[in-house]
């Protein structure tokens, strides 16, 4: 039912449009046209203004064609932005695989998700397939902060069940758990002094910070938990005892209690070690997003599992160590799974996707819509 050639051509068209995070205007306009052409009601929210992007999130609605109030409203989402180097992408097809012919990413992350959703809607409409209300959300600025999803106009969303088409792993891969994530930012304040004349009068903020970091458990903490210090800044000159250092890191865990413990460990270590130097530390912990934990028996998972089987794929329930728009959607009361769409080596110039996987993803969307209607 999926028109392979049409789907591939549309995917190629989408990846050729530059859309670095925050600069989604051009792709948003193109997608708006496509959605309107399909007959959907399209709304662009004000997220662009809020986060400083050139476009907002697109929310498109297709009313159901069945008169059954039991049929759940479904949300399908993918993000419009891409990482760098992602400008002037020239895709090529080699033996059923699409990749970039030059030193850029391909942008299958996440335009494969967008293309699959568009093709699925087209097939549903062409074949008069019964469906409940469908909500399509194309977000801005997912990469580096989930900014679009966080600023989305949720007053426009009715769905309580959703799918974010934005993971590697073959179609059939269903992400049922994802970590909660804390950002930890700390400013260490020492005391400046001339490093040659009177270092004993100073308090070295860099040394204090480094001692603290060296005492922290960082990296892979356990199978569910990770931690990192990713930024360190400070110092003005070699002859000045630095009075200021800034460090920033993160902790993630599938288990919120473990996240709290790891975060506490990092903060306490900072306070204790920095204290030994008579330096001061100001710490700010921010919850970037909460964990996802979907039950295997929940409708959102069941539909995806059955949809994969319907088209002859083996469903695979798994977890991820990363965040996605689904992390934010779940927080907002939408029971939302992330689907593997077959994109490979994302965020690298070797990124690629099989045409078969692109087609299977569109088919899974169609099957989910059908299942939600018949159950």
Q: How crowded is residue 238: how many other Cβ atoms within 10 Å of its Cβ?
A: 8
Q: What SS3 state is found at 46?
A: coil
Number of residues that bind Zn ion (CB under 5 A): 3
Provide φ and ψ at 148, rounded to 5°: -65, -50
Q: What SS3 state is found at 358?
A: helix
Q: What SS3 state is found at 277?
A: coil
Q: Which is nearer to Zn ion, 109 or 255 (CB)?
A: 109
Catalytic residue among 45, 109, 142, 143: 142
Residue 288 and residue 182 in contact, taking contact as beta carbons nearer than 8 Å: yes
Q: Which is nearer to Zn ion, 187 or 361 (CB)?
A: 361
Residue 197 C-beta: closest distance to Zn ion, Å? 54
* Residue 351 contacts Zn ion per CB under 5 A: no
Q: Which is nearer to Zn ion, 110 or 357 (CB)?
A: 110
Q: Which is nearer to Zn ion, 209 or 346 (CB)?
A: 346
103 is catalytic: no
* Residue 109 contacts Zn ion per CB under 5 A: yes
* Residue 81 contacts Zn ion per CB under 5 A: no
Which whole-number Å values give the CA distances from 40 to 10, 34, 81, 137, 225, in the listed order? 18, 9, 22, 12, 42
Catalytic residue among 10, 24, 81, 119: 81
Residue 109 C-beta: closest distance to Zn ion, Å? 4
Residue 267 C-beta: closest distance to Zn ion, Å? 30
Given candidates 10, 45, 110, 325, which one binds Zn ion under the rule CB under 5 A?
A: 110
What residues contact 138, with CB distance under 8 A and at least 6 apart? 28, 31, 57, 58, 60, 77, 78, 79, 80, 114
Residue 346 C-beta: closest distance to Zn ion, Å? 7
Given candidates 10, 24, 135, 166, which one binds Zn ion under the rule CB under 5 A?
A: 166
Candidates 361, 301, 372, 310; CA nearest to 337 is: 301
Candidates 248, 120, 237, 263; CA nearest to 179 is: 263
Q: How crowded is residue 268: how many other Cβ atoms within 10 Å of its Cβ?
A: 13
94 is catalytic: no
* Residue 168 contacts Zn ion per CB under 5 A: no
Q: Which is nearer to Zn ion, 75 or 270 (CB)?
A: 75
Residue 325 C-beta: closest distance to Zn ion, Å? 8
Under rule CB under 5 A, which residues in 253-312 are in contact with Zn ion? none
**Annotated active-site positions, please?**
81, 142
Which residue ranges make up the site for Zn ion (CB under 5 A)? Answer: 109-110, 166
């Amino acid at each position: 039912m999926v028109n392979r050639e049409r789907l591939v051509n549309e995917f190629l068209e989408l990846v050729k449009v530059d859309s670095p995070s925050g600069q989604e205007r051009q792709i948003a306009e193109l997608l708006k046209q496509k959605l309107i052409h399909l007959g959907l009601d399209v709304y662009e929210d004000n997220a662009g203004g809020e986060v400083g992007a050139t476009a907002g999130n697109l929310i498109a609605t297709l009313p159901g064609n069945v008169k059954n109030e039991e049929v759940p409203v479904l949300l399908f989402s993918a993000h419009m932005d891409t990482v760098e180097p992602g400008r002037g992408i020239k895709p090529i097809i080699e033996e059923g695989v699409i990749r970039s012919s030059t030193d850029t990413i391909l942008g299958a992350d996440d335009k494969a998700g967008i293309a699959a959703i568009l093709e699925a809607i087209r097939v549903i409409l062409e074949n008069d397939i019964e469906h409940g209300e469908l909500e399509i959300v194309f977000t801005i600025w997912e990469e580096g902060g989930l900014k679009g999803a966080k600023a989305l106009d949720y007053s426009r969303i009715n769905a309580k069940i959703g799918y974010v088409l934005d993971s590697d792993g073959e179609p059939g891969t269903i992400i049922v758990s994802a970590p909660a994530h804390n950002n930890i930012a700390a400013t260490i304040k020492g005391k400046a002094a001339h490093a040659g004349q009177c270092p004993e009068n100073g308090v070295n903020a860099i040394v204090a910070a480094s001692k603290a970091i060296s005492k922290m458990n960082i990296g892979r903490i356990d199978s569910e938990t990770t931690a990192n210090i990713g930024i360190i800044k400070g110092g003005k000159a070699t002859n000045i005892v630095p009075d200021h250092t800034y460090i920033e890191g993160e902790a993630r865990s599938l288990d919120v209690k473990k996240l709290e413990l790891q975060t506490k460990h990092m903060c306490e270590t900072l306070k204790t070690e920095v204290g030994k130097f008579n330096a001061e530390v100001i710490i700010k912990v921010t919850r970037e997003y909460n964990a996802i934990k979907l039950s295997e028996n929940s409708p959102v998972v069941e539909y995806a599992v059955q949809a994969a089987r319907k088209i002859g794929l083996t469903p695979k329930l798994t977890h991820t160590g990363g965040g996605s728009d689904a992390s934010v959607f779940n927080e907002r009361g939408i029971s939302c799974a992330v689907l593997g769409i077959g994109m490979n080596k994302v965020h690298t110039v070797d990124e690629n996707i099989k045409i078969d996987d692109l087609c299977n993803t569109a088919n899974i969307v169609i099957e989910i819509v059908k299942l939600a209607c018949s159950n």
